[in-house]
Structure 1
């Protein structure tokens, strides 16, 4: 996440992916300033009109992106609202279930982070056709992207808004305090670090997707 991507490039890349048949676009980049947020909004809306889900890594600065904006984002900081219904912002957790479960590097935010997913010490591909362990919200976002792809592979008639809501509502709810990223011992309710207070749960997501596929009139917008 070097912050060197131009808004024009982001918008063009989203449109290109949509036009070439993508159903899920995983975005592992970000920056603290956006010159042309309108271009991004139009690209987000274009993806939504084509039933395409956008999944974004929230960044690795250990900060609240409610207070320090991080782009691209579906949240309009000026008007205090979301600009689309097809965007999921993902933070990172580790395998330490308990107060230390949130990755020390993960950004967070009650308004701007949707949920958390595993993103620490993930065995993944690296250059030169090899594998190794890596960490970052860039590892957490693909977990959600993969869950969305799995849902659609079984239930292709679901809308992008339904897939997003299924992922968010089916996550495991965490009801205890955790150590806030980049702090030594400051504890906060896990529910204050994201909109949902939940962690990705693929099993629950598939069960809910099956239920919703049989009940087509339960979309909540």
Structure 2
């Protein structure tokens, strides 16, 4: 919070000095003044830019901090009033509304764009599978994802024809895990593929549990048609996995591009973001390509194809870590079940002659 306040003050002083709200790094570096406040602000902002913190990052941080103040840390805020359910029971499911945008729709829009943005129109980005249809279900009015809402959304998606469920979220606690477990089992029974983002804590998912998870109380898989996805980057070499990406030789199945991804944001705009939330829809998009071309394949078969078709990367990389971006080196193949990255071309070739 203190850093955010200092940044805001410095940014305001520089904007006033330059007489422009939007200024470039060159504008900032060109300032010559004897005003100590302006000089200190200039040095502070240049330092944050050199460390990789941009003006856009500050805007997002400000928005996040505002949301935390208004919602997450506000004991008077009751999101259930918006949703209209009975919070004292898990039996009801006919609640909610058709406002999938809510106060912020940037995350969901970004995910949807990765999967299905129109291709080859020379506008913005190309989605992986432009013919895929998006069923937008919002389970977070604001704050943490409530297990009841997650479970009901999964069941709603299954009952209304979804073939792939993309879960670009995760959390540390799941007080009513059994509700989500039953919903995931239901998805598996109904031949639905579930693709989940591994998480952005730089943790080993074989040690640290992130929910939802494809493990029951006996540590057995809930469904076969589940994939957990880590984030890779465009950089070959030691920084190939995203430094923030969770990993796990047992509980993360494969990696997909999730660093500096370009996609849609609300209002016909575009942005660049990083996270396993944006690696998962790459895999969902490739799964949609396979299902579109070979509709008779089961969800389990599509999962098998995606795992068998990964692009291997047999080199040492920095072990993902939030605390230390240059941590110890490990073989990339040890960061997931497959040791590889999703490959659409390979997947479609295997699907063409797939026999389990």
Q: What TM-score results when the alignment is normalised by the length of structure 2?
A: 0.58
Report SS of the residue matched to 2:242.
coil
Correspondence for 2:187: 47
Correspondence for 2:352: 210
* Stretch deviating more after TM superposition (31-40 or 19-28): 31-40
Structure 2 CA distance for aligned equivalents of residues 208 and 94 of structure 1: 25
Structure 2 CA distance for aligned equivalents of residues 180 and 54 of structure 1: 26
Deviation at 1:13, TM superposition (A): 0.3
Structure 2 CA distance for aligned equivalents of residues 69 and 98 of structure 1: 28
Structure 2 CA distance for aligned equivalents of residues 110 and 32 of structure 1: 20
**How do residues 78-93 of structure 1 correspond to structure 2 at under 5 angstroms?**
78-93=217-232
Query: Quick check: 1:34 aligned with 2:163?
Result: no
Q: Which has the higher strand share?
A: 1
Deviation at 1:100, TM superposition (A): 1.0
**Aligned residue among 274, 277, 282 for 1:143:** 282
Correspondence for 1:68: 208
**How do residues 5-24 of structure 1 correspond to structure 2 at under 5 angstroms?**
5-24=145-164
Structure 1 CA distance for aligned equivalents of residues 196 and 174 of structure 2: 16
Query: Quick check: 1:194 aligned with 2:336?
Result: yes
Tell whether the 8 Å contact from 2:320 to 2:327 is kept in structure 1 after alignment: no
Deviation at 1:65, TM superposition (A): 1.6
**Aligned residue among 243, 260, 274 for 1:121:** 260
- Structure 1: runs of 5+ lacking an equivalent: none
**Aligned residue among 171, 179, 200 for 2:318:** 179
Deviation at 1:3, TM superposition (A): 7.1
Structure 1 CA distance for aligned equivalents of residues 197 and 180 of structure 2: 16
Query: Quick check: 1:107 aligned with 2:246?
Result: yes
Structure 2 CA distance for aligned equivalents of residues 201 and 191 of structure 1: 15
Deviation at 1:75, TM superposition (A): 2.5
Q: Which has the higher helix share?
A: 2
Structure 2 CA distance for aligned equivalents of residues 99 and 80 of structure 1: 32
**How do residues 149-164 of structure 1 correspond to structure 2 at under 5 angstroms?**
149-164=288-303
Structure 2 CA distance for aligned equivalents of residues 66 and 158 of structure 1: 30
Correspondence for 1:94: 233
Deviations 1:138-196 (CA, angstroms, capped at 9, x unpaired): 11000000001000001000011000010011101222211011232310111221111
Deviation at 1:80, TM superposition (A): 3.1
Deviations 1:13-58 (CA, angstroms, capped at 9, x unpaired): 0000111111111111111121222222211111111111111111
Structure 2 CA distance for aligned equivalents of residues 185 and 66 of structure 1: 18
The alignment covers a number of residue pairs equal to: 213
